[in-house]
Structure 1
């Protein structure tokens, strides 16, 4: 099966779009970074290194220090597809991140975005 082209795209090439989406709605780069760190277990230095190294999406998620187990609590629709129903693991991780950034842009509180009890 042929891999989706986003897998080979550099995470850092899409990262500015996440920031722009959040900032258009009055949110911040720091909040986007917090979401990414929560999801992947990267610290800020590690996140910046991934962006600088032009790490592709597949490698970004495959080598993440500690994918948050609470990411399975993320539910909803992104691009017309329910994230919880996506069977391909890397695509599901990408869509989890998309969903979190969408929630941020829609004004949801960080505690809810990060699934804090």
Structure 2
């Protein structure tokens, strides 16, 4: 009976350790993602402000359309690139979060 209690106690400790490791990784990952989002928002605002200044300085409608078109293209490309990067950050984050549990699941599933 004491052996079973020790096994249960060790399992509980291992699960708690895994949960703490996972939460630590999750917290750091979300901080990195939040920082990336803040950087993107700041850059997007700066680019938009610069474009408005350019539009205000031009004298012809053709040039306004050109400046606005260039901005739209650059904004789209930046948005796609940033979305890809953030998606990769999420993928890497969840891979890291579940790493502590891989060993525990490996013990439960018999090898073939």
Q: TM-score, normalised by structure 1?
A: 0.28
The structure carrying a bigger helix percent of its residues is 2
Q: Which has the higher contact order (CA 8 A, sep 6+)?
A: 2
Is the radius of gyration larger for structure 1 or structure 2?
2
